[in-house]
Amino acid sequence: MKFPSYTTTKQKLWHYFYLFFCGFVLFFLVAPLVVVIPLSLTNSPYLQFIPEMKLFSFDTWSFNFDGYGTRWYRELFGMCDTVTQATTVCTNRWMIGIKNSAVIAVFATLFASILGTLAALGLSNRHMPFNRAIMALMISPMIVPLIITASGLFFFFAKVNLVATITGLVIAHTILGIPFVVITVTASLSGFDNNLMRAASNLGGSPLRNFFKIQAPLIAPGVISGALFAFITSFDEVVIVLFVGGPDQYTLPRQMWSGIRNEISPTILAAATILVLFSILLLSTLEMLRRRSERIRGVRPG
């Protein structure tokens, strides 16, 4: 660390303390997620580190991988026959859950992206009456406590026979996804130069063609990052599934929920690890999109 010559010792100390504090906060954010990974690779049925898991022994100066294996991953993927020690119930609910979650999330994301983009396009018109109020309404599903949304939807779906159906869950998750798309698309529209559209009209393009040729490619990063948010929200949603889902409708988060509450088994950790890796993948996608959108608009990263 290079300090200017006039820095006093006190200031230096203060600066180191400050860096230490920031390091602690970042550690606090990430550490729990990192701890999950090695624990998911053990063979023990406990959710804690035990002496057998010591990777490196200082006494014998050697590595020891005995306590580690892919047991919980096999259980996660429903490969029950290979499990030797049957300490927990092995089911294929996890796989059913992953499949259900994926189906629901894909459809919910699709609908949320379409509806959210339409709303954002309409709201970008500043002359639109009640612009602000409609915007607030569109974002409100993100703000209203989930438990209230879930109870409300439960009674409503009970009336229209949508409880315990995939359709019901897709509708509910679409509602939750819309705000994210509205926010991200609005943000990407705020940097959009409307003169481009005027120029295109002047050159004889029809409104529809102008939209697809000029506006759509420019707001695409916004739509995609909103869609990613919507997807992850749906893929991670548990409260609404608990309220409006049927008893046999397993989704991944619901399976994790019951795993945490009832039969706590390290299979959860295997699922958690995969989800952490998945989120890293999504995060890098998003970062790539951001860079791309900056490049298109000619903004140079500093």
Selected from 61, 84, 129, 262, the binder of other proteins by CB under 8 A is: 129
Q: How far is the CB of 139 from other proteins (least distance, A)?
A: 6
The verdict on 143 binding other proteins (CB under 8 A) reads yes
210, 200 in Cβ contact below 8 A? yes
Burial code (b: 16+ CB inside 10 Å, e: under 16) for 154-168 equals beebeeeebbeeeeb
The verdict on 88 binding other proteins (CB under 8 A) reads no
Q: Which CA distances in Å does 22 have to 16, 19, 33? A: 10, 5, 18
Mapped onto helix, strand or coil, the DSSP state of residue 291 is helix
If binding means CB under 8 A, how many residues of this protein chain bind other proteins? Answer: 91
128, 169 in Cβ contact below 8 A? no
Selected from 53, 119, 170, 227, the binder of other proteins by CB under 8 A is: 119
Give the position of tokens 């999109």: 289
Identity of the residue, 79 or 134, whose beta carbon is nearer to other proteins in the bound complex: 134
Stretch that binds other proteins, among 54-62, 63-71, 85-93, 236-244 (CB under 8 A): 236-244
Mapped onto helix, strand or coil, the DSSP state of residue 8 is coil
The verdict on 178 binding other proteins (CB under 8 A) reads yes
Q: How many Å separate Cα 210 from the centre of its chain?
A: 33
∠ CA 261-105-169, rounded to 5°: 70
Torsion of CA 290, 296, 298, 302, to 10 degrees: 20
Selected from 44, 109, 113, 174, the binder of other proteins by CB under 8 A is: 174
Identity of the residue, 71 or 221, whose beta carbon is nearer to other proteins in the bound complex: 221
The verdict on 94 binding other proteins (CB under 8 A) reads no
109, 97 in Cβ contact below 8 A? no
The verdict on 165 binding other proteins (CB under 8 A) reads no
Q: Of 266-295, which residues contact other proteins (CB under 8 A)? A: 268-269, 271-272, 275-276, 279-280, 282-283, 286
Identity of the residue, 84 or 127, whose beta carbon is nearer to other proteins in the bound complex: 127
DSSP string, 155-178: HHHHHTT-TT-HHHHHHHHHHHHH
Selected from 155, 209, 288, 299, the binder of other proteins by CB under 8 A is: 155
Residue window 247-266: x/- pattern of binding to other proteins, with contact defined by CB under 8 A: ------x--xx--xx-----
| E strand spans, the chain | 56-57, 62-63
Cβ contacts of 142 within 8 Å, gap of 6 or more: 176, 179, 180
Selected from 102, 103, 110, 121, the binder of other proteins by CB under 8 A is: 121
Identity of the residue, 29 or 86, whose beta carbon is nearer to other proteins in the bound complex: 29
The verdict on 239 binding other proteins (CB under 8 A) reads yes
Give the position of tokens 């790539």: 288
Q: Of 193-222, which residues contact other proteins (CB under 8 A)? A: 207
Identity of the residue, 90 or 188, whose beta carbon is nearer to other proteins in the bound complex: 188
The verdict on 68 binding other proteins (CB under 8 A) reads no
Q: Of 15-44, which residues contact other proteins (CB under 8 A)? A: 18-19, 21-22, 25-26, 28-33, 35-36, 39
